[in-house]
Structure 1
Amino acid sequence: MQFILLGSTASGSSRNGGRPGHRTPSSAAPRIPILITCSNETTSEFHTCPSAATTCPSPSASSSSSKQRPAPSTTTCPEYFRFIHSDLSPWRDAGITREAVERARDKATFRLVVVAGRAYVDKYRPAFQTRDVFTLWGILQLLARYPGRVPDLDLMFFCDDTPVVHAAAYPDPSVAPPLFMYCKNDSALGIVFPDWTFWGWPEVNIRPWAPFLEEVERESRRVPWHYREPYAFWKGNPDVGGLRSDLMRCNGSDWNARLVRQDWEDADRNGFKDSNLAKQCTYRYKIYVQGRTWSVSQKYILACGSPMLRIQTSFDDFFSRGLVAGKHYWPIDADGMCPSIKSAVDWGNAHPVQAQRMGEEGSSFARDELSMDYVYDYMLHQLAQYARLLRYRATVPKNATELCLESMACPADGRAGEFMMESREKYVADYEPCSLPPPFTLYYKVGKRVGEVGSKVKRMEEQEWKET
């Protein structure tokens, strides 16, 4: 049975005329560098932020100089940007009051306020490892990259995995507390934001996304797809979710799978010699399975150029909502994952041209649609749309601390400091962000098509088992 990949219209790909990562400046004018000035460690001024006179004004204050900005972008953002409208739709009509934001305090990890282009944070509870640190670092990069473009705002951020604002608890969604988070499913309300690993995950030695993409492209070329091991590969911690425990039962030649338990403590002791994700592209197929909810591993798997076998999940992060079954990945039935994985591998090995094409579509999405340019553009559009809904003027909380590049980067050392330097923006953007597309009109058509692909795969599997 022939498996037909979906056309590009289903993916919302903007590769035609799209902007690749870190575009070349469009004018001959000198680029404006983003400087980080660390004082001598022994002085009392260490870790302090520059004075207001040296920072960029807020959008309203800088409107008189808007004529100096580049011409509006002719590039439309990738299709998954439309979910910005979807995430904010509960508050679209009534807006967001200060009281609504305050109601999210008991769930939030921190509160972020931006006033006149300067960032302030009020931390409520510890985050796991450095999730909050690198999320805030990413927001500071946005402020530096697009100075004067992030409006005044006030938001609550949740740094854990499991969504905590349940739609069933709010028959009127407009009264739900607006909460930023890394993922959600259809039963949750929330505003999905890029996760911290785009700027690095020092505890497990995962590099920032931009240098990782460069490294994985080099490593992928070392072992072309046809020369990779003809099995499905997964390596990770199986103890963080039931689906992962179930997946480990599929290990071995009977199911065409090679599954490896990742012990991060042991990896740390060994200097992470065998856990470089960029060097795990030696198998023809890579398995994605959620952790407690979603997993940050999905983008690294996509980048390999091997078809991603995506075990059915209800959780999505901000970009995975733009992935299309049958084009960017092969759907795997969570209730029968072992035979489903075997069937996918058997089909791919029997149809190498189509299988390789799927792997290339996935890696192209990771490289082009998920470049750091687009990550920052997503953040900018999302925060701007959110700020428009605020029905009050954002003010600095009493217990908030100002954050700036210096206050975060100067005291950072070890791998955290290294990743901050690797992921920092070096120049102010001399081009406009991509143009935000309007809200969805074809969302249900895309969803229906994804369902059709899943049904087709299921029929293929049933037919294969009848013939064996």
Structure 2
Amino acid sequence: MLAWFVMTKIDLSPNRLLHVRNDLGLFNIINLTDCYDIVKPFFNFVCNNKSFNYRQLSIQSDQHICYQLYSKTKKLNLFSRIHNDLEPFKNRKILLKDIENISNSCVSCHHIQIIQNKLYIVPRSTASNYETRSRSIKLLIKHMMDTFSDIPDLDLFFDVGDVVELPKGFNDVLFNVPIFAFTKSNTKKIGLRPDAIVLMPCFTLWGWPEARAGRWSKVFQSILNASRQIDYEKRIPKLFWRGGDMWKRTWYINTAKQYRNTTDIAAMNWVRTIVDVSLSVSNTYATLEQHCNYKHLLHLEGNTYSSRLKYLLLCGSSVVYDPVERWEEYWYHLLKNGKNVIFVERINNEIAFNKTFQFLQNHENVTKEIGKQGQQLVQNYLNEHAVSCYWRNLLHEYTKLFEYKPTLHPNAIYIDDFILSNIP
């Protein structure tokens, strides 16, 4: 069953089309928060009033609602990354021996199965369990499967590290089975070769309690609300950044001391515990919502990628991004320089850095529009519904590689039992 609808007209005719009342005209996903009487749970997107207009939404494969909302009707294609990532495997067919091979080769990987549209976890003592990342990915997949009931049987292996690191000698191997991960770089030679990796949604799209970011769906709305409290013109005209100090960021932190009138850039020292995160330099701390007080926000890579970019874009401020090593998440192909983000390559280049400031200060109308478009990008393509659609379509394309019929692992644990257990 695709969904349970309230206050809608559902046509159960053989062509399996859903006719949903919609008074919005051309559908815009960012109007979600303006709805009062809403259909649920798929996808809380139709406002109900006196209008009797209907939108026809097909749930057949090539006209699936996910494609209608996030691909065919948009100039930017959310799902093109899926095809690009799976391209190296299109002439490879996954056999049972390949599953056994990847299981032995990626000792840090987590193993999940979907059998008869039920999600199972295969416990592995060697799997990496840094923070709550692995549990968040499993819950993201469960969330998707609570909506969609058409996921084919599969075996899947994912890694939750900042870098996928296999035992010595395996990083240069293109296995028949891709490994799913958060990020990869086509320019940085570290860890598993990038064409062996398929990008999946980041764990923070479920939640990141260790960094006080909380549940994505709540912080998503909280940042949007904060952005609406202050007009762009009234925001502080400085380039703002907070984060941990590391080599990719040190130059900016030091250089900003010479630009105190136009920047507010400072490092924070994180002290992590199992249940909390404290800040040893508390006077520099700023909540994600407080970032929206600034016209311009700086985004810098971390050890590899930094998951902060989506939070910054939600503010509607113009985001300046230096992709030092070009680590990407699955949605970065939607970023367009000068449209929804400002790309710079300024590290160790103070002259170019100064030119960036001149642009920010002298083109407020342009930077305001860039901020608006960046915010809409996240609203459109990184809301929970779009994330579920990405998972659904990714798994459908992935299972086309299978030439064997997956069967339930003898140690597999059903997802509901897993959630109630203390298994990471």
The correspondence of residues 295-374 of structure 1 with structure 2, limited to 5 A, is 295-313=306-324, 314-374=326-386
Match in the other structure for 1:143? 145
1:282 to 2:280 alignment: no
Kept in 1, the 8 Å contact 2:243–2:267? The answer is yes
Q: How does 1:123-142 map to 2 (within 5 A)?
A: 123=124, 124-142=126-144
Unpaired runs of 5+ residues, structure 2, are 1-24, 44-57, 187-192
Matches within 5 A, 1:39-188: 72-73=64-65, 74-77=68-71, 78-105=76-103, 106-107=105-106, 108-122=108-122, 123=124, 124-146=126-148, 148-164=149-165, 169-170=172-173, 173=174, 175-186=175-186, 188=194
- The answer on 1:222 being equivalent to 2:229 is yes
Q: Give the 3-state SS of the residue equivalent to 2:327 in structure 1.
A: coil
Please report the TM-score for the alignment, with normalisation by the length of structure 2.
0.75
Residue 207, structure 1, aligned to residue 214, structure 2: yes
Instruction: List runs of 5+ in structure 1 lacking aligned partners.
Output: 1-14, 34-65, 417-468
Say which SS state the counterpart of residue 321 (structure 2) adopts: strand
Q: What's 1:251 paired with? A: 256
CA contact (8 A) 1:250 1:257 kept: no
Change (3 A) 1:351 1:331: same
- Tell me the CA shift for residue 102 of structure 1: 3.1
Q: CA 1:343/1:67 → structure 2, altered by over 3 Å: closer, same or farther?
A: closer
Query: Quick one: structure 1 residues 76 and 125, their matched pair in 2 at CA, closer, same or farther if it must change by over 3 Å?
Result: closer
1:142/1:376 contact within 8 Å kept:
yes
Instruction: Indicate conservation of the 8 Å contact 2:238/2:294, yes or no.
Output: yes
One-letter amino acid of the structure 2 residue matched with residue 116 of structure 1: Q
One-letter identity of the residue aligned with 1:193: M
Deviations 1:292-339 (A, max 9, x none): 111111101111111111102411001112111111111111444544
SS in 2 for 1:367: helix
Counterpart of 1:215, as a letter, is: S
User: How many corresponding residue pairs?
Assistant: 357
Read off the aligned partner of 1:87 and give its amino acid letter: D
1:371-410 aligned at under 5 Å gives the runs 371-404=383-416, 407-408=418-419, 410=420
1:119 partner SS: strand
Instruction: Classify 1:259/1:167 alpha carbon distance in 2 versus 1 (closer, same or farther; 3 Å).
Output: farther
**Structure-2 separation of matches of 1:218 and 1:397:** 45
| Residues 289 and 120 (structure 1), Cα distance of their counterparts in 2 relative to 1, 3 Å cut | same
CA distance in structure 2 between the aligned counterparts of 1:24 and 1:387, rounded to whole angstroms: 37
* Native 8 Å contact 1:18 1:76 kept in 2: no
For residues 307 and 204 of structure 2, the distance between their equivalents in structure 1, rounded to whole angstroms, comes to 7
What is the Cα deviation at residue 275 of structure 1? 4.3
Instruction: Name the residue aligned to 1:429.
Output: none
Q: CA deviation at 1:80?
A: 3.2
Q: Residue 463 of structure 1 corresponds to which residue in structure 2?
A: none
Distance change in 2, residues 1:308/1:16 (3 Å) = farther
Provide the C-alpha distance between the structure 2 equivalents of 1:156 and 1:220, rounded to a whole number of angstroms: 38
TM-score, normalised to structure 1's length?
A: 0.68
Shift of the alpha carbon at 1:118? Answer: 1.5
Identity of aligned residues (%): 19
Quick check: which one's helix share is greater? 1
What SS does the corresponding residue of 2:156 show, helix, strand or coil? Answer: strand
Matched residues in 2 for 1:28 and 1:163: separation? Answer: 41
Per-residue deviation, 1:237? 0.9
The 8 Å contact of residues 233 and 258 in structure 1, kept in 2 or not, is answered as: yes
Map 1:24-43 onto structure 2 (within 5 A): none
Shift of 1:230: 1.5
SS in 1 for 2:370: helix
* Distance 1:18-1:221 versus aligned 2 partners, 3 A rule: closer
